[in-house]
Amino acid sequence: MTDNLYDRRSEWFVPKFGPTRFRLIAGLLFLPYTGMVLSFTVIGSILAAPIHYDRVLAIVVIYFLGLGLGAHALDALGSQGLKPWGRVLKRSHLWIMAISSLALAYLIATYYIVRYAPLLAVIAVLEGFFVFAYNLEWFHGRFHTDGWFAFSWGFLPVLAGTLIQTNRISMGAMALGVSMGLFSLVEIKASRPYRSLRKVLNPSPEEHDLVMRYEAILKGISLGVMLLGGGLLLWRMGR
């Protein structure tokens, strides 16, 4: 069986059904982790009073396009063939996916920046930098670290959710941003050793147990954050 840790087709977030090409494209999206980031934007939006639900949807769509599609396509381009989803599509197709999704994300963001939230432009510039610097490992990988990951995909999305609603940042939003950044830090800290252990072709029983523990952490934190975001949104809609 070649479906091992190296090609990652057997990882828990990759569908177990469908043709290989479909499974790998779904794997490229890292849907549970993308769902975490989308939930961060929702959590940030919840702080607004009143809340504009069209802007909640807008920031979710913006981050799905920018992170779920754009950043992960760039990540596949920067993986140097180490990930199966970096090989299932041609490099030209990955570039088209990345640029087109980012362009659409920024087009939507620009509308809301001009109409309602000029300060959101600061987050747009920062995220635009990290989407390339982190995923393509610019500057010799200086920004491809756990800390910058937590900042760019944990802290900033919360602020983006708040800013698109209110065009201001409160202390509460800052505190929530730090909190969600810490959740992102736990996720990436568990993800790295998990991936390393999954590359072992003949793992020992102890290594297998560690893989299962890390996988449980990753499943728990991603599902927990998504339920938190969804639950808070339902609570707010019911008020």
pLDDT tens, position by position, 170-204? 999 999 999 999 999 999 999 999 988 887 878 89
Model confidence band, residue 91 (pLDDT cutoffs 50, 70, 90):
confident
233: closest CA among 66, 105, 59?
59
Taking a C-beta distance cutoff of 8 angstroms, is the pair 41, 55 a contact? Answer: no
User: Residue 226 and residue 33: Cα distance in Å, rounded?
Assistant: 9
Is 59's pLDDT higher than 80? yes
Model confidence band, residue 3 (pLDDT cutoffs 50, 70, 90):
very low
Q: At what angle do helices 120-133 and 156-166 cross, to 10 degrees?
A: 150
pTM of the model: 0.91
In degrees, to the nearest 5, what angle opens at C-alpha 48 toward C-alphas 43 and 53?
75
User: Residue 106 and residue 93: Cα distance in Å, rounded?
Assistant: 20
